[in-house]
Amino acid sequence: MSDFDDETRLSAAGDGAWTGTVHEAWNIGANPNGGYLLALAVEALRRTCPQHPDPLSVTVHYQRPGLAGQPCRVEVTVLRTGRTLTTARATLVQDGGARLEVLASMGVVTADAEPMIEPPPPPMPAPDDCPGRSGDEQGVRLATLDRVDIRLHPDEARAGSAGQAQVRGWIRFRDGRAPDPLALMFFVDAFPPAVFGMLGRVGWVPTVELTVQVRRRPAPGWVLGQFRTVDLSDGRLIEDGWLWDARGRLIAQSRQLALVRLAGEAAAGHAAPASR
Amino acid sequence: MSDFDDETRLSAAGDGAWTGTVHEAWNIGANPNGGYLLALAVEALRRTCPQHPDPLSVTVHYQRPGLAGQPCRVEVTVLRTGRTLTTARATLVQDGGARLEVLASMGVVTADAEPMIEPPPPPMPAPDDCPGRSGDEQGVRLATLDRVDIRLHPDEARAGSAGQAQVRGWIRFRDGRAPDPLALMFFVDAFPPAVFGMLGRVGWVPTVELTVQVRRRPAPGWVLGQFRTVDLSDGRLIEDGWLWDARGRLIAQSRQLALVRLAGEAAAGHAAPASR
The tens digit of pLDDT for each residue in B98-150 reads 999 999 999 999 999 999 999 999 999 999 999 999 877 667 889 999 999 99
Q: What is the pLDDT of residue B272?
A: 45
Share of chain B above pLDDT 70, in %: 93
In A, minimum Cα distance to B233 occurs at: A115
User: In chain B, whose CA is at the least distance from the CA of A118?
Assistant: B231
Output the pLDDT for position B132: 95
Q: Which of chain A's residues have a Cβ under 8 Å away from the Cβ of B274?
A: none
Residue B84 to residues A98, A219, B46, B53, Cα–Cα distance (Å): 18, 42, 14, 11
Summarised one tens digit per residue, pLDDT across range A42-74 is 999 999 999 999 999 999 999 999 999 999 999
The low-confidence residues of chain B, meaning pLDDT below 70, are 137-138, 263-276
| pLDDT tens track for A156-211 | 988 888 889 999 999 999 999 999 999 999 999 999 999 988 888 777 899 999 99
Mean pLDDT computed over A152-159 = 90
Please tell me the predicted confidence (pLDDT) of residue A139: 75
Which pLDDT belongs to residue A162? 84
Strand pairing report for A250-259 and B11-14: unpaired
ipTM: 0.95
Q: CA A207, CA A75: separation in Å to the nearest integer?
A: 22
pLDDT given for residue B162 in this prediction: 83
Q: Does A257 sit within 8 Å of B213, measured CB to CB?
A: yes
* Secondary structure (H, E, C), chain A: CCHHHHCCCCEEEECCEEEEEECHHHEECCEEEHHHHHHHHHHHHHHHCCCCCEEEEEEEEECCCCCCCEEEEEEEEEEEECCCCEEEEEEEEECCEEEEEEEEEEECCCCCCCCCECCCCCCCCCHHHCCECCCCCCCCCEHHHHCEEEEECHHHCCCCCCCCCEEEEEEEECCCCCCCHHHHHHHCCCCCCCCHHHHCCCCECCEEEEEEEECCCCCCCCEEEEEEEEEEECCEEEEEEEEECCCCCEEEEEEEEEECECCCCCCCCCCCCCEC
Q: Which of A195, A228, A233, A243 best probes binding to B when mutated, by most B CB atoms within 10 angstroms?
A: A233
Nearest to A246 by CA among A220, A226, A225: A220
Contact A233 B208 (CB under 8 A): no
B239, B228 Cβ separation under 8 angstroms: yes
Q: Cβ contacts (< 8 Å) between A208 and chain B: which residues?
A: 56-57, 85, 105
Surface-to-core class of residue A118, CB atoms within 10 Å of its CB (0-12 exposed, 13-18 middle, 19+ buried) = middle
The residues facing A256 across adjacent strands are: A210, A239
Confidence of residue A272 (pLDDT cuts 50, 70, 90): very low
* pTM summary value: 0.95
Contacts of B198 in chain A (CB under 8 A): 117
pLDDT in the model for residue A271:
40
Chosen for mutation from A52, A80, A100, A108 (greatest number of chain B CBs closer than 10 Å) is: A80
User: What was the pLDDT predicted at A269?
Assistant: 42
pLDDT number for residue B206 = 93
Closest-CA residue of A relative to B91 is: A79
* Mutation site for A-interface testing, chosen from B208, B251, B254, B261 by largest number of A Cβ within 10 Å: B208
Interatomic CA distance for residues B107 and A238, integer angstroms? 15
What's the DSSP call for residue B156?
G
Give contacts of B104 with chain A, Cβ < 8 Å: 61
- C-beta of residue A197 within 8 angstroms of C-beta of residue A167: yes
pLDDT reported for residue A137: 66
pLDDT for the residue numbered B85: 97
Span A207-230, mean pLDDT?
98
Minimal C-alpha gap between A12 and chain B (Å): 24
Q: Give residue B26's pLDDT.
A: 97
Task: Read off the pLDDT of each residue in A8-34 and give the average, rounded to a whole number.
Answer: 97
Percent of chain A with pLDDT strictly greater than 70: 93
Shortest CB distance from A231 goes to which of B215, B237, B257?
Answer: B215
Could you say which of B105, B215, B231 has the minimum Cβ distance to residue A119? B231
Q: What is the pLDDT of residues A79-99, one digit of tens each?
A: 999 999 999 999 999 999 999
What is the nearest CA distance from A15 to chain B, expressed in angstroms?
A: 20
Q: In 3-state terms, what secondary structure has residue B26? A: helix
Nearest C-alpha in A relative to B110: A234
Check the CA dihedral A139-A144-A147-A153 and report its sign: negative
The alpha-carbon gap from A175 to the nearest alpha carbon of chain B, in Å, equals 31
- CA-CA distances (angstroms) from residue B69 to B7, B27, B31, B143? 11, 10, 10, 13
